[in-house]
Amino acid sequence: MKDSLPGISRKKKGKGFSYYSPTGVLITDPSVIKRINSLAIPPAYSNVWISPYPNGHIQATGRDERNRKQYIYHPLWREARQQKKFNTIIEFGKSLPKIRKHVDQQLQKPITLAKSQVIAAILYLLDNACVRIGTAIYAKENKSYGLTTLRKKHLSLEKNKAILEFTGKNAHMWHIILTHRKIIKILEKCEEIPGYELFKYKDDKGQINTITSQEVNGCLKDITKKPFTAKDFRTWTACRETFYRLVATIREGSPPTKDKLKETIGEVAQILGHTPSICQKNYIDPDIIAWWEGNQLQLWLKRRRLNIEEKEKIFLLWLKHKTR
């Protein structure tokens, strides 16, 4: 169901709203009104469109106070989309060695600020700093930044280290200290190029271009031959870190309590720069939590002799096991 098709509209009525069918007839059916109210469409939304079908994957759309289009999806469709994301995380984990090999190869080359080399530096940061890729709209409207929208003012260069300090989405303050020699060198060279933006490159004609999120995602697809995006790094990190911390707790002999789970999710949320609730809802595979709460994780670990320090290897083994 698309919102370009006729839908239910709403009009202000006293302190609330009245609703009209696609043909303009006032809706009085209590069951339809109950469904609409359950969507919790913010009163401030304008140009509200509501699906006339209770099973439509898009249940409503509207424009917020900044005129940004917002979507309200059917819970089952949202759940299916979330599960699809977590089902593909094992393929992303398997592709990480290939991505990292490409990054290493680019960083081993002389610093030329070729497009592929600057993108490799961004991929390194996605993998190691868990930062968002960034969008021009958020940078312009909210003054919140991600990797591709960082400016020179966000970079500080000191002896043997580089510091990235900026405000990200949800007003989260990022303070990233980098010590990788080649990454520091690329940042130094990028800073020398004219313009406000940090991550830039020179093309074959000598023209200066800013790296975009689309170019980074395109590079990921070229490397892996799969439709991964920069967002997958954050999902992978959230799941890996949650899983590893819970495994470490079990190996320490601590009981699988709800308090420990809450503490772990809070720690991972800090890494992502999110609230614990959003982190759990959107970034952590629910199977990790289910296995912890059902004592399955403890039983799985008892049957295996694993090096707890190999966090990614252990996590991939578990992913392969649960998807068999």
pLDDT band at 80 (very low <50, low <70, confident <90, very high): low
Name the CATH architecture for the domain at 9-73: 2-Layer Sandwich (3.30)
The confidence score (pLDDT) of residue 4 equals 79
* pLDDT value at 85 more than 80: no
Contact 48, 57 (CB under 8 A): no
* pLDDT value at 91 more than 90: yes
The domains of the chain are located at 9-73, 94-224, 231-322
Joined together, the tokens standing for residue 119 give 């993108």
Instruction: Dihedral sign for Cα 82, 87, 89, 91, please.
Output: negative
Contact 175, 155 (CB under 8 A): no
* pLDDT value at 205 more than 70: yes
- Give the single-character DSSP code of 21: -
Contact 288, 239 (CB under 8 A): yes
- Give the single-character DSSP code of 48: E
> What percent of the chain is predicted at pLDDT more than 70?
98
Return d(Cα 321, Cα 203) in angstroms, integer.
46
Joined together, the tokens standing for residue 212 give 């975009």
- Give the single-character DSSP code of 151: B
Task: Say whether pTM exceeds 0.85.
Answer: no
Return d(Cα 6, Cα 306) in angstroms, integer.
57
Separation in Å, CA 295 to CA 255, 287, 301: 10, 12, 10
String of DSSP letters for 172-232? PEEEEEE--HHHHHHHHHHHHSSSSBSSEEE-TTS-EEE--HHHHHHHHHHHHSS---THH
Q: What is the pLDDT of residues 256-313, one digit of tens each?
A: 899 999 999 999 999 999 999 999 999 999 999 999 999 999 989 888 777 767 889 9
Amino acid (1-letter code) at residue 119: I
Contact 304, 321 (CB under 8 A): no
CATH class of 94-224: alpha beta
Least confident of 48-52, 62-66, 192-196, 314-318: 62-66
* pLDDT value at 88 more than 90: no
In DSSP terms, which residues pair with 176 in a beta bridge?
164
Separation in Å, CA 114 to CA 107, 210, 216, 265: 11, 12, 14, 39
Q: Do domains 9-73 and 94-224 have the same CATH topology?
A: no
* pLDDT value at 250 more than 80: yes
Q: What is the pLDDT of residues 134-182, one digit of tens each?
A: 988 888 888 899 999 999 999 999 989 999 999 998 889 999 999 999 9
Q: What is the pLDDT of residues 51-63, one digit of tens each?
A: 999 998 899 999 9
